[in-house]
Amino acid sequence: MSLSQGHTLPADLNAMQRQAVLHLDGPCLVLAGAGSGKTRVITQKIAYLLRECDYAARNVVALTFTNKAAREMNVRLRQLVDGRLAKGLTISTFHSLGLRFLREEATHLGLKPQFSILDATDTLGIVQELMATTDKARLRAVQQTISLWKNSLLDPDAAERVATTPSDLEAARVYRSYADTLLAWQAVDFDDLIRLPTVLLQQNDEVRRRWQSRVHYLLVDEYQDTNACQYQLLRLLVGDRAMFTAVGDDDQAIYAWRGATVDNLMKLTRDYSDVAVIKLEQNYRSVQRILAAANQLIGHNTNLFSKKLWSDLGVGEAIQITPMENDLAEAENIAMRLSAARFERRAEWRDFAVLYRSNHQARVLEQALRNLRIPYVISGGQSFFDKAEIRDILAYLRLIANDNDDPAFIRAATTPRRGIGQTTLKALGLFAQEQQLSLFEAAFEIGKTSLLPARQHDSLLTFVTFIQRLQTRTAGHGHVPSEGLPGIAMPGEFAGVDGAVSDSPARILDDLLGSIRYEAWLYETLDEKPAQKRWQNVLELVEWLKRKADEDELTLLELVQHVALVTMLERNEDDDPDAVRLSTLHASKGLEYPHVYLVGVEEGLLPHLGHDEEDAGVEDTEQALALRIQEERRLMYVGITRARRSLHISWCRRRRRAREDVVCQPSRFIEEMGLGADVAEPDDAHAGLSPRARLSMLKDLLAHK
């Protein structure tokens, strides 16, 4: 290893971190325990590559899983190196890189560059169409199965071969039609964003050479969360040169249900025999008691590389374990303790986080916090882009970009209502299927038949010509007949606008919104309050789109594709209100808080034990169960290691579940933390409260009696 003496590497790295940064002789695997400074290692390493090793920024690629992580890494890097030096650097999510790849290489895959990206709701819809059932659980199971196959790089043929149970065989059948449907719609799903680039890189030597010459150094964050497909992508991108750094922590692998496999850690050591393995065990986040509990807990798992976290941040206060009567009492109790703790610790609201296993637990908590006027923000949960009004507007944009996008067509055509309903769509759908046309194309053609009454056909034609008009104003993309637009008169307001010249996304958006009467429709259909809220969201979306288009100089089409990958979390990226954080355990990964409240730590919830698998052999199920418990344990581990100074765990003796109250046991994980007598007495929740807070608490208790 060449340790040049003159380099400007900052000294604030420990020996192991330094080793991880400096190792450039070959592949490098950094096992970074929670809070061990892994982001620092990655950013320092990028800075080192750029400044000391003459890597051109455009040849360095860093991949993360979330947009938030990518953003943070970008910010941190910019604090280290001059902006000019970092120009052209890629720090993005796997999915964003995949999107960029697909945009450039789409034609190799039989896709037009304006392909649509379907989200989970869209794809569930396809599955539903293809299966004659409304059983939602079943539909989701099939959707999930298809996704797992895709992530394992199995095509429909291969899936059919590996499927054994009747349920899997049916899923394989659906998979085949599903793939056909996507192609017909010129659409890809989330999994395709990674799968298709991988497949193309495998099959096409020229493309592979080109991309390998672009990527000279690759860094991968959260490596333990990669799936089989992502691992292949990594291998194909780095090629024989094998210059890369993977950073991960097998104890924090919590995405197996999504196809992630820690096998990839083992594969790395097998496929690259010269890989350097570096462990980061010093933790810069938590006090020792918290780390001891975390180490104890995770000791119950079998893992590849055992680590022991340590810190020099002092022993810290004892961990609190509090049993509660039920989930309602738990929420109220937490709310009161938050109030008290903020006062006693002279802390801010933002210093506290309440973490839970599943989203629905947030409801009671929200209510309790609101009652005590405690400000809070929720991360995880429903995305901004899942809201109906947002999907409505985006459907128009998707359709403008890609008129093969049938789900977008249906949504846009029927919202707001414009005389196109079930019967019209059914007839149109049938006709489109017969003629092998998209719904959009079929709307033009169906006039030549007598399948639809003139009235309904008129409604359709008005709609599609409207969309077509907008298409002509986007930059030469879309479904633009070269001979112009026969029979379509440009409305007066557009007189003088040449259809061949592209309009700015901002102008098209304004025109769209003005034309569809969306606001008016909202107020007609809904009560004043929700209508106002929804319209507010629409305006927010439009502002966001315009800003994004402006900043990154994106066309409307690029914008639409980009939007599919972004979630609500990044929307409010710049405001960080002083508020308590409510978050699922999954969404909390990578974050840290001075004081953490881990709620609902009960058998059945954490570890969460779903319904027993219907098919699969007995011993298979048993093993699967053991693996699931281990993943749940890691989830608990992630939760514990979010805490810097204090950790509070609570569980409920009873919990309202669906209809009736069920009796709960404390989670086995509490025992496994090995606290023994080193547990703080559950503090009197009433202590430290103002008389007024006490009163309101009593009132609440009575109200819920």
Partner DNA sequence: CGAAGAGTAGTTTTT
Partner DNA sequence: CTACTCTTCG
Q: Which residues are catalytic?
A: 38-39, 221-222, 252, 642
Q: How many CA atoms lie within 13 A of 264 on its CB side?
A: 30
Q: Does 261 bind DNA (CB under 7 A)?
A: no
Residue 686 per-residue DSSP state? T
Residue 345 per-residue DSSP state? T
**Residue number with CB closer to DNA (16 or 638):** 638
Q: Does 565 bind DNA (CB under 7 A)?
A: yes
Q: Does 646 bind DNA (CB under 7 A)?
A: no
Min dist. Cβ of residue 305 to DNA (A): 23
Cα dihedral 260/261/264/267 (nearest 10): -150
Min dist. Cβ of residue 579 to DNA (A): 18
Q: Site for DNA (CB under 7 A): which residue of 448, 659, 692, 705?
A: 659
**Residue number with CB closer to DNA (306 or 371):** 371
Q: Does 705 bind DNA (CB under 7 A)?
A: no
Q: Which helix (H) or strand (E) holds 699?
A: helix 691-703
Min dist. Cβ of residue 421 to DNA (A): 3
Q: Does 15 bind DNA (CB under 7 A)?
A: no
Min dist. Cβ of residue 190 to DNA (A): 4
Q: Does 137 bind DNA (CB under 7 A)?
A: yes
686 near 705, Cβ under 8 Å?
no
373 near 336, Cβ under 8 Å?
no
Question: 130-141: b or e for each residue (b if 16 or more CB lie within 10 Å)?
Answer: bbeeeeeebbeb
Pairing of strands 60-64, 217-220: parallel
Min dist. Cβ of residue 423 to DNA (A): 3
**Residue number with CB closer to DNA (59 or 415):** 415
Q: Does 360 bind DNA (CB under 7 A)?
A: yes
Pairing of strands 319-324, 276-280: unpaired
Q: Site for DNA (CB under 7 A): which residue of 90, 456, 555, 561?
A: 456
Q: Does 16 bind DNA (CB under 7 A)?
A: no
- Omega within 30 of 0 (cis) for the link into 416: yes
Alpha-carbon span 456 to 493, nearest angstrom: 27
What are the residue ranges of helices labelled H in 553-689? Answer: 556-563, 568-571, 585-588, 618-640, 668-672
483 near 472, Cβ under 8 Å?
no
| Residue 607 CB contacts under 8 Å (≥ 6 apart), including other chains | 628, 629, 632, 633, 636, 667, 668, 669
Q: Does 198 bind DNA (CB under 7 A)?
A: no
Q: Does 417 bind DNA (CB under 7 A)?
A: yes
Min dist. Cβ of residue 84 to DNA (A): 29
| Residue 234 CB contacts under 8 Å (≥ 6 apart), including other chains | 218, 220, 226, 244, 246
Interaction pattern, residues 598-637, with DNA; x per rule: CB under 7 A: ----------x-x---------------------------
Q: Does 421 bind DNA (CB under 7 A)?
A: yes
Min dist. Cβ of residue 497 to DNA (A): 30
Q: Does 419 bind DNA (CB under 7 A)?
A: yes
Tell me which residues in 515-534 interact with DNA (CB under 7 A).
524-525
Min dist. Cβ of residue 10 to DNA (A): 30
Min dist. Cβ of residue 94 to DNA (A): 7
Q: Site for DNA (CB under 7 A): which residue of 212, 303, 358, 532?
A: 358
Q: Does 33 bind DNA (CB under 7 A)?
A: no
Coil, helix or strand for 667?
coil
Alpha-carbon span 136 to 128, nearest angstrom: 9
Q: Which amino acid is at 541?
A: L
**Residue number with CB closer to DNA (43 or 414):** 414
Q: Does 463 bind DNA (CB under 7 A)?
A: no
Q: Does 93 bind DNA (CB under 7 A)?
A: yes
**Residue number with CB closer to DNA (189 or 503):** 189
Interior CA angle at 345 toward 344 and 349, to 5°?
A: 105
**Residue number with CB closer to DNA (283 or 456):** 456
Residue whose tokens read 């003459």: 54
| Residue 61 CB contacts under 8 Å (≥ 6 apart), including other chains | 90, 91, 92, 97, 215, 217, 218, 219, 237
Q: Does 252 bind DNA (CB under 7 A)?
A: no
Alpha-carbon span 272 to 604, nearest angstrom: 40
Cα dihedral 439/440/443/449 (nearest 10): -60
Q: Which two tokens stand for residue 420?
A: 């196109």
Q: Does 569 bind DNA (CB under 7 A)?
A: yes
Alpha-carbon span 197 to 210, nearest angstrom: 13
Candidate ranges 45-53, 321-329, 398-406, 584-592; the one touching DNA (CB under 7 A)? 584-592
Q: Does 65 bind DNA (CB under 7 A)?
A: yes
**Residue number with CB closer to DNA (85 or 624):** 624
Alpha-carbon span 537 to 549, nearest angstrom: 18
Q: Does 370 bind DNA (CB under 7 A)?
A: no
Alpha-carbon span 79 to 86, nearest angstrom: 11
Q: Site for DNA (CB under 7 A): which residue of 108, 258, 548, 694?
A: 258
Q: How many residues bind DNA (CB under 7 A)?
A: 46
Candidate ranges 203-211, 269-277, 345-353, 414-422; the one touching DNA (CB under 7 A)? 414-422
**Residue number with CB closer to DNA (42 or 243):** 42
Report the interface residues with DNA, using CB under 7 A.
Answer: 65-67, 93-95, 119-120, 134-137, 190, 254, 257-258, 357-360, 380-381, 383, 414, 417-424, 456, 524-525, 565, 567, 569, 584, 586-587, 608, 610, 657-659
